[in-house]
């Protein structure tokens, strides 16, 4: 079995931008990272109780697990959430007296779709990115939509 270079693999996909039969669908996913901040450099007992109440995986676990994962941290990354859930969590944390920071973790995904409705899934993420970039560069129509999480 011979292995083609990325350039060769991309050349094999040139029909995506030369045939006139493909569009590029772009979906934007709005996401946010939620981080609890502990101004004293580590959480107080009250802050630990708030974390336990707000983070489901700590709700039923022993206090020792919570202390082991969060106890010595100045900041705790809760996770990535859709915009609505991130806002809800941020509001609930602030209501409990926690300091919260959110960071944008939004991303875009591109999918070649034929005029006949067939989608081409390219499993190699690097090749998929190169193909989408080439399609955009060559003027293939882009259809965009926002995913609301």
Determine the pLDDT at residue 3: 79
Give me the pLDDT at residue 149, please.
Answer: 66
- What are the pLDDT digits (tens) for 71-115? 899 999 999 999 899 999 999 999 999 999 999 999 999 999 999
102/106 Cα distance (integer angstroms): 12
- Tell me the per-residue pLDDT of 108-141, one tens digit each, with 9 for 90 and over: 999 999 999 999 999 999 999 999 999 999 999 9
Cα–Cα distance measured from residue 35 to residue 123, given in angstroms and rounded to the nearest whole number = 32
**For 45-50, what is the mean pLDDT?**
94
The model carries a pTM of 0.73
Domains of the chain in start order, with CATH, are 6-29+107-147 (no CATH), 32-104 (3.30.1390)
């Amino acid at each position: 079995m011979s292995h083609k270079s990325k350039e060769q693999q991309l050349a094999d996909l040139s029909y995506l931008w030369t045939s006139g039969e493909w569009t590029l669908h772009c979906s934007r996913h709005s996401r946010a990272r939620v981080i609890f901040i502990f101004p004293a450099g580590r959480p107080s007992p009250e802050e630990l109780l708030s974390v336990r109440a707000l983070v489901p995986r700590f709700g039923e676990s022993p206090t020792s697990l919570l202390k082991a994962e969060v106890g010595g941290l100045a900041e705790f990354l809760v996770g990535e959430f859709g915009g609505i859930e991130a806002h809800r969590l941020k509001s609930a944390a602030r209501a409990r007296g926690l300091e919260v920071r959110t960071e944008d973790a939004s991303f875009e995904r591109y999918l070649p779709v034929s005029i006949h409705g067939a989608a081409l899934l390219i499993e190699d993420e690097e090749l998929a990115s190169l193909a989408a970039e080439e399609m955009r560069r060559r003027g293939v129509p882009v259809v965009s939509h926002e995913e609301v999480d």
